[in-house]
C-alpha cells in the first residue's frame, strides 16, 4: 500500500501536461516501453526537455529505464501506477455504499447501506 507522501510525489510528477502525455504514451506502450527517440518524436519536445521530464517521472517512481546497447528505453512502472489507483479508489463511495469504482479496480460492492434518518 502506498503512503500519502508517495502519492503526492506521483501526482505532482503527473501534474504537468508534457509529463502526463509522456506517461500516457508509456502506459500505452506496455512493459516493453519505448526508446527516448520514440517517446520524443510524436511529442515534438527537445531532447533536453524530454530528459528533464523523464527524470521527474523516474524520481517519482512512475517510470523505469533500461539500456539496450546504445539505446535507452523507458517503461511505465505498472506496480506504482496500480498502487496509486488503488490508493485513490480504496474507499470509493464507502460512505454511500454504492458501486462507483472504475471497472478493473477490484471487487465492487453490490449492497447499498440504508439511508440515514432525517432529523
Q: Report pLDDT digits (tens) over 84-116.
A: 999 998 888 878 777 676 665 444 333 333 444
Cell numbers 503526492: residue:
8
Query: How far from chain centre, in Å, is Cα 6?
Result: 12
**H or E stretch including 89?**
helix 78-89
Percent of the chain with pLDDT over 90: 69
Domain ranges of the chain: 4-81
Domain 4-81 carries which CATH code? Answer: 1.10.10.10
Judged against a pLDDT cut of 90, whether residue 42 lies above it is answered with: yes
Amino acid at each position: 500500500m502506498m503512503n500519502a507522501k508517495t502519492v503526492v510525489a506521483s501526482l505532482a510528477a503527473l501534474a504537468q501536461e508534457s509529463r502526463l502525455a509522456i506517461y500516457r504514451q508509456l502506459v500505452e506502450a506496455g512493459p516493453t516501453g519505448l526508446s527516448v527517440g520514440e517517446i520524443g518524436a510524436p511529442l515534438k519536445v527537445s531532447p533536453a526537455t524530454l530528459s528533464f521530464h523523464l527524470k521527474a517521472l523516474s524520481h517519482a517512481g512512475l517510470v523505469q529505464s533500461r539500456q539496450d546497447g546504445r539505446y535507452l528505453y523507458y517503461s511505465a512502472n505498472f506496480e506504482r501506477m496500480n498502487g496509486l489507483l488503488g490508493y485513490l479508489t480504496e474507499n470509493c463511495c464507502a460512505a454511500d455504499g454504492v458501486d462507483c469504482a472504475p471497472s478493473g479496480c477490484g471487487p465492487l460492492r453490490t449492497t447499498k447501506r440504508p439511508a440515514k434518518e432525517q432529523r
